[in-house]
Structure 1
C-alpha cells in the first residue's frame, strides 16, 4: 500500500537512494522510512517502484508588525522563497490573521560538484534554483534525439544579451557543473546585492540578460556516465559504433554518433573532408548535413531568435581560449580575449584548423565576439577533483563576458 503524502518514482538505470534523495531534496532516512519493502537499500533495480515523500509546507498566521523579511528570518527562508510559495501575495499589504505557506528550508548549497552529476541532477537542481530564486527563469529550446528537453536559464533584464553553453561533447560534462554552479552563485550575489571580485552583480543584472544552456547533449552525457541498457532504442547501434565496448568514456557525440560541434553551417564541407569520418562514430563525425541533429538545430534556432552581443561555448580540456574564425571576428574580440586571459591565465589562440563549430557559425553569421573556452587539463572526462581549480580560473571569464 502506498504511504500517505507520497508519490511514485520509477527507478532508472544508475539510480541510488542517495541520488534520489538528493534529487528531491529529502533526507535519506525519510526516503528509507517511506519504503520499508526494500530488502537491500543498496541494490535498486531499474523499473522498481519507490515512494517519495512530498515536501510539505508549514502554515503561519500573520501577526501584527509582521513583514515578509521578519517572517523569513524567523523560519530561515528568504523573501523570494516566501513569495514563490505564496503567489499573488502583496508584501506591502500583509493582512493580520492571513494564513501563508512557509517552505521547507532549502539546502545552503544547491549545486554540488560530483562524479555522477548528469541530466537528472541538473534538472532537479534547476527546479530547486527556480523555487529559491524567483528571478531565475527557465524554458526549453528543444529536445534531444531521445526526447529529453534541453533547458535554457535566463537571468537579468538588460538590453545586452549574452549566451553561454556547455556539454556539446558528451565526455565534457564538467562544463555543465561549471555553468550550473555559476547560475547559483550569480543568483545568490544578486539576491544579496553584493559584488564578486570587481563585478557589482546588481549592475550586471540591470545591464545584461544572461542566457545559459548548461547541457546541449543530454543523451550523450548520460551515455558516458550511465552506459546503455537494451531498452534504449539505440542500444544495438551505439554498441556497434563503439566497437562492442561498454566503456563510453571517450564518447563525444550525441546518441546517434554525431559530433554536435561539427554540425554548424560554417564551411561544413571542409570540416567533413578534414575529419574524414564517413559514418557515425564516438567522435568527429559531422553528420549527413549541417543542423540535421535536433540538439544542434535547437541551438541554432534559439541563437537566431536572439540578439546576442557575445557567446561562449565551454568545452574541455586544454586551458585555452579560441576567439577567431577565418578573420571574420570583429576587432574587439582580440581585446576581449586578452581580458579573459588576464582573468583566467588561459592561453589565447586566435585561429585553428577547424570549421563548423558553434562559435565559428556565430562569428560568421553575426560578425560579433564568439569564443570557445577549453577548461581544465588532462584526459576527458576530467576528474571531479579538478573542479575547484577550474572554477577559480574561469569565474573571471564568466563575469567578464557579461561586462565587456
Structure 2
C-alpha cells in the first residue's frame, strides 16, 4: 500500500526567479495547500508532493516553476486552461492515460509565454495533439515516445517553429505526410526509431536545415528514395540500423556533406554500389553487414579517407577482395565477425600501400582456433596492429604487437 501511494505522488519542483536573481536561498511557497514542500539539496528550489490523483488547482502566485511533474497520476483528461496560472519552462505529464481525447483544445492556455519542454511519453496517445500544442510558440522539446501514434499528418507542428527536438520513439508510425515537418527550420534532433515505417517521401525532411541527428532505426524501410535527405546540409548522425534495406547507392546519400556517423547494421544488404559512400566526404564512422553482399569491389568503400571506425559485420566468404580498404588511410578501428566459420582472415593487401598498421585495432569474433598463432594475426602483429576479440564461449583473446 505504501508503494502504491508513493507511485501516485505528483511532484512539482519550483524555482523562484527572485531568489535566483538575488543569488541566495529563499523559501518558495507551495502552489497548493494540498502539497508538502521541502528544499532540494539546499538550493533555492522546493519540491511539492500531491497525494491526490486529480489535477492540482494552481492559484495565481508570483512564482516561476523550474519543473512541473505530474507523471503517472492516472489522469485521463486535461481540461481547458488547467495551467492558466502556471509559469514554467518544463511540464511532465508522462505515464498518464489520456488516450485519443485527453486534451482539450485549450489545455495549455497560459503556458504560451514560457513552456519550452513538454513530456508526453507513454500516454496512450493515438494522434499528435496538434490543436493543443499549436499555441506553445516557445516549445523547444516535445517527447511523444511510447504512444500508439500511426500517422503524422500534414503541418502537424506548423506553429511550433522553435522546436529543436522531437521524439516519436516506439510508436506505431506507418506514414509520415510529405509535408508533416514543414516549418521546422530549427529542428536539431529527430527520433523516429522503432516504428513501422515502410517508406519515406522525397523531401520528407526538406527545410530542416539545422538537423544534426536523425534516428530511423528499427523500422521497415526497404529502400531510400533519392532526395529523401535533400536539404539536410548539417546532418552529422544518421541511424538506419535494423531496417530492410538491400541496396546502397550514392544517390541515397546525396547532399549529406556534413555526415560523420552512419549506422546500417542489421540490414539484409545484397548490393553495395561503387562509390556508394563517395558523396559523404566527412564520414568517420560506418557500420554495416556484409554477410549477404554478393559482390564487393575496391569501389565499394572508395573516398572514405576520413573514416576511423569501420564495422563490417559477419563476413560470409573466405576472403575479402584485395584493395577493398585502399582509401581508408586513417582507419583505427576495424570490426570483423566470423560466426559462420567461413572467413579465413584479413590480409595486408586490403589496405593502402603505406598504411600505418601501428594505429590499427582489429576486433574479431569468434576466433577459430582460439590463439594468437594464426598466420594472419601474426602478420598483423608483426606490422604493429593490435588484434583482439573473443573465441567460442566468449572467452576473450588479446594479441599484442610482436617484440624481438
TM-score (norm 1): 0.25
Structure scoring higher RCO (CA < 8 A, sep ≥ 6) equals 1
Q: Which one has a bigger Cα radius of gyration?
A: 2
TM-score (norm 2): 0.25
